[in-house]
Structures are given as C-alpha cells and as structure tokens.
C-alpha cells in the first residue's frame, strides 16, 4: 500500500516561530536519541571486532528500538509541517513562499527564533537573514 503524501504546509516567519516551543522540544529529543544511537553503533562495532557477536546483537536490538522512537519524533515534526535536515545538530527547515518561489525558513537547535532562510538547494551554507523579507503562507 502506498504511503499518503501530506500536502506541503507553507509558513510565515511568525507562524514558524509560533511552532518553535514544540519543535525545539521534539528536536532536543531527536538530537539526544541520535547521539545515543551513534554511541551504541560504535560500541556494537567494537564488540563485533572483538568477536563478541551476541553482545553486538543486543546492541543492535536497542538501536532498532531507538531508531523507531526517533522516527516517531520525525513523523510528529512532519505533521507540524517542518523538515528535520540534520538530526545530529537539530537543523530544521520550514517551507515558505518568497514571491513566486518555494524557499526554506531555517532554524537550528539553540537559536531563539527563526532568523534565516535559504533557497531549497542552497542548504545551511546559503542562509540569509529573514529581516526585511516577506514570506507567504499561501500560494
């Protein structure tokens, strides 16, 4: 059965900022889980290298549980309408319209508000200040 695609939700700077209390809590959980998963991955790899396959399998089971938990958080973010771009640092994009183009409002865990945007293909390196720009929530 094919997954249903959610319609894209477009944000203004104001509407994206209103979601930040919830989004930041979710992203904190994702970043924490991701760090734990990397630790377990390294531990499991060391166990395999030492020939301790049974212990490594236990690690793998725990990793699968954490991956499922992380996927639930990511799904919750998608329901809000934003996109997790980097689970290691907590980088999130919010679809927006700038003129007749779709762009992303960009936020990183620890930032107090949405203060940047970038073209879809520019990524984090192409961030520009939102100040003085107009972003639309509708087509």
**Coil, strand, or helix at residue 4?**
coil
Residue among 35, 17, 126, 124 nearest 80 (CA): 17
CA distance linking residue 38 with residue 52, whole number of Å: 19
First to last CA, the chain: 30
Residues 6+ apart with CB under 8 A from 64: none
What global pTM score does this model have?
0.85
Query: Residue 5: what pLDDT?
Result: 66
Query: Residue 45: what pLDDT?
Result: 85
Other beta carbons within 10 Å of 68: 9
Beta partners for residue 128, in sequence order: 117
Query: Residue 21: what pLDDT?
Result: 97
Q: Is the dihedral of CA 119, 127, 72, 78 positive or negative?
A: negative
* Residue ranges for the chain with pLDDT beneath 70: 1-5, 137-139
Query: Residue 1: what pLDDT?
Result: 47
Query: Residue 139: what pLDDT?
Result: 54
Query: Residue 138: what pLDDT?
Result: 66
Query: Residue 51: what pLDDT?
Result: 86
**Contact call for residues 10 and 138 (beta carbons, < 8 A):** yes
């Amino acid at each position: 059965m094919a997954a249903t695609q959610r319609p894209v939700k477009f944000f203004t700077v104001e509407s994206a900022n209103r979601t930040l209390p919830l989004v930041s809590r979710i992203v904190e959980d994702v970043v924490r889980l991701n760090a734990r998963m990397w630790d377990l991955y390294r531990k499991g790899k060391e166990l395999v290298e030492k020939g301790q396959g049974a212990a490594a399998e236990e690690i793998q089971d725990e990793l699968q549980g954490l991956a499922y938990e992380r996927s639930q958080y990511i799904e919750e973010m998608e329901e809000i309408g934003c996109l997790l771009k980097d689970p290691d640092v907590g980088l999130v994009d919010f679809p927006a319209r700038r003129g007749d183009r779709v762009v992303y409002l960009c936020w990183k865990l620890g930032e107090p508000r949405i203060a940047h945007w970038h073209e879809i293909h520019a990524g984090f390196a192409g961030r520009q200040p939102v100040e003085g720009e107009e972003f639309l929530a509708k087509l």
